[in-house]
Structure 1
Amino acid sequence: SAYAPLSGVIVSEKVWRILEQGSDEFGAIGHGWTYSSHPLCTAAGMANLDYIDEHDLVTNAREVGAYFNGALTEALGGHPIVGEVRGEGMLAAIEFVRDRDDRVFFDASDKVGIRIAAALLQRGVIGRAMPQGDILGFAPPLCLTRDEADVIVAAARGAVEEVAAGL
């Protein structure tokens, strides 16, 4: 078995100069593994960055992400078991509470987040029940469209309503 991971490091000019000076004095930094500096990873990474630039996915993430978070807030922000809808860019989360006014959380044994994630999956949408409590997280791709965001929001609303009705 082997992996061909891709990573990078960004350092300040000051740190770079220290690394460069150390390499001049002591030789190149001695590190590496079998698959370090693998050209396949580099090619895939560069192709991915080119795709992101060519399709302006950063702008899409900003614009559609704002739309997505706004639509989630509009659809579920006032729901009796929703304590908070929050997000930034394409990331979003819905936190569930037993009592909105006092922010009383559900008992962990109720598994509300897990049940809502399962109901969401039945609607064809993947959301993640977070381990920190009854929180449903979303991390759609940067290429998400408004129509696709609407599908996620409608499915989330249906899943929340279904589980809430059984509480």
Structure 2
Amino acid sequence: MIPEIALKQQGYQPIMSIRTVTRMEDLPKLIGEKFMRIDRYLKDLGVENSGAPFVAYYNLDMAKLDVEIGFPVEDILPGEGEMCPGELPEGPWVTTLYEGPYEGMKVAYEAMMAWMAVNGWEVAGPYYEMYLNSPDEVKPEKLMTRIEVVVKKAEEESHGMFRND
């Protein structure tokens, strides 16, 4: 089943996150460790996260994945060690809701890329996966992941006398 894809306007959203480089095979364990560490830090501050935990992918190099692991929060908070305050990029994002095992998300990503091509958008920032539930709570086929990507209007090829070759 092809997921529903939409364009949204992302507003101001503070986050607390850890950015790191890892190998794909190490990612599941790393995500769990970093989520727990950030959650513990937020609890120590007496702060609740304000949304689903996320992983942002800044590249797709499976041997050296550049990822940011974090939570949305209500306000900018002080960082500590590898934990840094920040914000989600404001502006247009393409979004879809994927239901199923993490290994099957490729279909949703391909559908998003096709939708962007047809609708005149291109990738302008990281890909985000927001995890709405966890493998500890539900069976793999019931996992819910919001997949989002920062976008910009696609540049049309210029034609005519001002074309830069």
**Which of structures 1 and 2 has the bigger CA Rg?**
1
Greater RCO structure (CA 8 Å; 6+ sep): 2
Q: Which has the higher helix share?
A: 1
Question: Normalized against structure 2, the TM-score is what?
Answer: 0.26
Q: Which has the higher strand share?
A: 2
